[in-house]
C-alpha cells in the first residue's frame, strides 16, 4: 500500500510544479496544462508498448476499448472502469466512480474548479494510448455530480 | 543469417533500418530500404485479411493463428525472404534473410519468430528512453548493437 501512495504524491507534486512554472506567463485563471499533458502522452505511449506486448492482436475497436477499461485501467489506476457505454459508431463513454487521482478530494463543490488540472495527466495518457492504436480520438472529460466521479467521452474519428 | 532488420512506424515512416554487411556502401543502404518498403504492401494486405477473417466465422485454431502478432513469411524473391511482425500499437517490424547464403536459406520459422519477438522487446526498451521523443527515429547505439547481435547470433 505504501508504494501506491508514493505515485499519488508524486503525481500531485508534478501538477503543482508544472503549474508553478507556468504561473508567471499567465496571470489569468486558465491553466497551462501542456507540460502535464505531454508527460501523460509520453508515459502512455511508452507503457502501452509494454502492456500490449504479450497480447494477441486486437481484432477491432471494441476489443481495444475492453483492454483499456480492464487491463490498462487496473495497471494505472488500480481498478477497472465502472461503466463503458458505446453507440457503436465510434463514441465511447467511460465512467469511473472512484477515480484514483480524485478520491483524495473532499466531497463538495469547494474544490471543483481545481479538479480539471489533476485529470490532465490522465486524459493524455488515455489519448496517446488510443493514438497508439491507430485510432484518432478526441477525449473530453467532465467531472460530474460527486467530485470523485469521472466521466470520459472518447469520440473516435 | 538476417541481412536486414527494420522498424516502421504506424504512419509507415522508417524508425530504424539496420543491416549487417557492407555498411558504408550507399547501394546497400538503398537496397535495404527498397526491400523493406516493398514489403509494406504485403504487410498491409496481410493485416486486412486478418481483420476480415476474424469478422467472419472461424474455427478456434484459425483464429488464434490470425491473431498472432507474427505474420510469417510475407514473400520471397530470388535472393531474399521477408518476414513481418506487427505489434498491437501498429509498429511494423520487418526482417529480411538472404536465401543465397547457407545459413539464411534453411532458416526455420520458429527462429524468425523468436528473433522478431526479441526485437519487439528491444524496441519497447528503446522507446522507454526518456530522451527519445515519440515518433522519432531510433538513434540509440545500444539498440543498434543489440539488434545487430540478434541478427548475427540467432538468425
Highest mean pLDDT among A12-16, B15-19, B52-56, B144-148: B144-148
CB B89 to CB A60 under 8 A? no
DSSP A69: I
The answer to whether the CB atoms of B90 and A132 lie below 8 A apart is yes
User: Which residues 6+ apart lie within 8 Å of B145 measured at CB?
Assistant: none
Find which of A36-45, B45-54, B77-86 is predicted with most confidence, using mean pLDDT: B77-86
Distance between CA atoms of residues B12 and B144, nearest Å = 20
Q: How confident is the model at residue A134 (pLDDT cuts 50, 70, 90)?
A: very low
Average pLDDT over residues B66-87: 85
The predicted structure's pLDDT at residue B30: 83
Cell numbers 527498397 correspond to what residue? B34
Output the CA torsion A13→A18→A24→A27 (10° steps): -90
Residue A56, SS3 per DSSP: coil
Set of cell numbers at residue A58:
486486437
C-alpha cell at A60: 477491432
pLDDT at A147 over 90: no
How does pLDDT run across B41-74, given as a tens digit for each residue? Answer: 888 888 877 665 544 444 444 444 567 888 888 8
CATH number, domain of A124, equals 3.30.1380.20
Compute the average pLDDT of residues A137-152: 54
Provide the shortest C-alpha distance from residue A155 to chain B (in Å): 19
Nearest residue to B77 (alpha-carbon basis) of B54, B107, B50, B97: B97
Name the residue among A46, A52, A55 with its Cβ closest to that of B128. Answer: A46
pLDDT band at A150 (very low <50, low <70, confident <90, very high): low
Q: By C-alpha distance, which of A111, A133, A128 is closest to A52? A: A133
Q: What percent of chain B has pLDDT over 90?
A: 15
- How far, CA to CA in Å, does B84 sit from each of A134, A155, B36, B91? 18, 31, 10, 11
Query: How sure is the predictor about B119, in pLDDT bands with cuts at 50, 70 and 90?
Result: very high
Facing A49 at nearest CB: one of B51, B67, B124: B124
**Are the beta carbons of B86 and B69 closer than 8 angstroms?**
yes
Chain B interface includes A57 (CB < 8 A): yes
- Across the interface, whether the CB atoms of B68 and A133 are under 8 A apart is answered no
The rounded distance, in Å, linking the Cα atoms of A140 and A143 is: 10
Closest CA to B115 of B68, B70, B155, B75: B155
> What average pLDDT is seen over chain A?
69
Number of domains in chain A: 1
Nearest 5°: phi and psi at B111?
-65, -45
Bridge-based pairing of strands B2-8 and B92-98 is antiparallel
Length of chain A measured in residues = 157
Domain annotation for chain B: domains and CATH numbers: 2-153 (3.30.450.70)
The domain of A134 spans: 2-156
Count the Cβ atoms, other than its own, within 10 Å of residue B98.
Answer: 18
Which residue carries 516493398 as its cell?
B38
Q: Is the pLDDT of residue B35 over 70?
A: yes
Q: What is the ipTM metric for this complex?
A: 0.75
Amino acid at each position: 500500500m505504501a508504494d501506491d501512495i508514493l505515485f499519488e504524491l508524486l503525481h500531485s507534486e508534478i501538477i503543482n510544479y508544472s503549474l508553478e512554472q507556468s504561473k508567471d506567463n499567465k496571470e489569468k485563471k486558465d491553466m497551462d496544462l501542456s507540460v502535464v499533458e505531454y508527460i501523460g502522452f509520453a508515459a502512455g505511449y511508452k507503457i502501452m508498448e509494454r502492456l500490449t506486448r504479450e497480447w494477441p492482436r486486437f481484432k477491432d475497436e471494441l476489443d481495444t476499448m475492453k483492454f483499456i477499461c480492464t487491463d490498462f485501467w487496473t495497471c494505472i489506476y488500480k481498478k477497472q472502469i465502472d461503466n463503458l457505454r458505446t453507440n457503436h459508431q465510434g463514441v465511447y463513454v467511460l465512467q469511473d466512480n472512484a477515480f484514483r487521482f480524485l478520491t483524495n478530494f473532499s466531497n463538495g463543490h469547494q474544490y471543483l474548479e481545481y479538479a480539471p488540472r489533476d485529470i490532465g495527466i490522465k486524459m493524455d495518457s488515455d489519448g496517446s494510448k488510443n493514438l497508439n492504436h491507430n485510432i484518432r480520438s478526441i477525449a473530453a472529460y467532465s467531472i460530474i455530480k460527486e467530485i470523485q466521479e469521472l466521466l470520459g467521452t472518447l469520440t473516435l474519428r | 543469417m538476417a541481412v536486414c532488420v527494420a522498424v516502421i512506424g504506424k504512419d509507415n515512416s522508417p524508425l530504424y533500418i539496420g543491416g549487417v554487411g557492407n555498411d558504408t556502401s550507399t547501394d546497400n543502404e538503398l537496397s535495404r530500404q527498397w526491400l523493406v518498403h516493398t514489403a509494406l504492401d504485403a504487410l498491409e494486405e496481410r493485416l486486412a485479411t486478418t481483420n476480415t477473417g476474424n469478422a467472419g466465422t472461424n474455427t478456434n485454431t484459425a483464429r488464434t493463428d490470425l491473431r498472432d502478432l507474427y505474420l510469417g513469411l510475407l514473400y520471397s524473391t530470388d535472393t531474399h525472404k521477408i518476414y513481418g511482425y506487427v505489434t498491437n500499437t501498429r509498429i511494423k517490424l520487418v526482417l529480411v534473410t538472404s536465401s543465397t547464403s547457407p545459413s539464411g536459406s534453411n532458416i526455420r520459422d520458429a527462429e524468425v519468430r523468436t528473433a522478431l519477438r526479441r526485437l519487439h522487446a528491444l524496441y519497447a526498451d528503446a522507446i522507454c528512453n526518456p530522451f527519445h521523443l515519440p515518433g522519432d527515429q531510433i538513434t540509440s547505439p545500444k539498440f543498434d548493437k543489440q539488434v545487430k547481435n540478434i541478427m548475427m547470433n540467432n538468425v
